[in-house]
Structure 1
């Protein structure tokens, strides 16, 4: 009888070892699936934030185009709000945004224009969704004497400059 008891004990150890290996394999597979799902979640979140940044850049570029081609203030419809040289006469301060109450201009700056070029910069806080945009409008005369305009619009998914998840997208329009 002692021999049968001994044999039975040896088989029990093998079953325990076998179940431990199977559970380790299953746990490894599950943790791998969870890790893949987590990474896909981060990628989809980044894509959403990138889309917000791109659309804010597009909004800034469209506003700059509108203000350059057709000024929104009465009496100045046919002139640009952006100077093209130091001899330019500006129609005044821009106090309204493209969508009247939805977009607020936070700053506008025209640093030292020359006789043949000028650069204007402004920032907008699109407050309804918490996104921001910085726009640079450069007007210059090319080597053939043609007036050119370059609009660089940089959109951000958040106005918080310290955010680790801040995404920037840019659009450049030249005509």
Structure 2
């Protein structure tokens, strides 16, 4: 006759519980690591967009004399990566943040391409109600761009936009 011990199987039960616990901890660590990777990638993309916007506004401010002339020359920024190469001003009526229209304002825009992003720069020049000449330079930086136009790739779900504005009075 065989005797069965009531303490058999505890080793197997303990091994299964330990393996489940280790697997649960590993899944938790993997989940946290994945979230940290996504967060760091978003922060990196945001920095690329901010640097592109900053470079765009620096380019426009550095070439302001070329843009303000009656026949603007070629803008030299980032080794010539400007689209279009020689932007021209067009007239329109500018409405400021207070809702006041300013006729005979002039506007131009151009795109800049960088290794990790691009910038869309627009420049508005007008005379305000006091007769003072004002210039607004707005630069929008993007982390993912079209290589041909240096414009943003708006079809990408990972696109990040950062904008800077500079006002001369």
Specify the TM-score bucket, using the shorter chain as the normaliser. 0.7 to 0.9
Q: Pairwise mapping of residues 9-48 of structure 1 onto structure 2 (< 5 A)?
A: 10-48=6-44
Name 1:57's counterpart in structure 2. Answer: 53
User: What TM-score does the superposition give when structure 1 sets the normalisation length?
Assistant: 0.74
- Runs (4+) of structure 1 moved beyond 4 Å? none
Residues 1:18 and 1:49: Cα distance change in structure 2 (over 3 Å) = same
More displaced stretch, 103-112 vs 38-47: 103-112
Counterparts of 1:37 and 1:103 in 2: how far apart (Å)?
41
TM-score for both structures, normalised by structure 2: 0.76
RMSD over aligned Cα, in angstroms? 2.2
Which of the pair has more CA radius of gyration?
1
| 8 A Cα contact 1:149 1:174, kept in partner | yes
1:113 aligns to what? 92
1:145 to 105, 125, 131: 131
Q: Write the deviation string for residues 99-145 of structure 1: whole angstroms up to 9, x where unpaired.
A: 5xx2421123534335541121111123xx15211011111222322
Q: Secondary structure at the match of 1:166?
A: coil
Which residues of structure 1 form unaligned runs of 5+? Answer: 72-80, 83-88
Unaligned runs of 5+ in 2: 94-102, 147-152
Contact kept? 2:91, 2:105, Cα under 8 Å: no
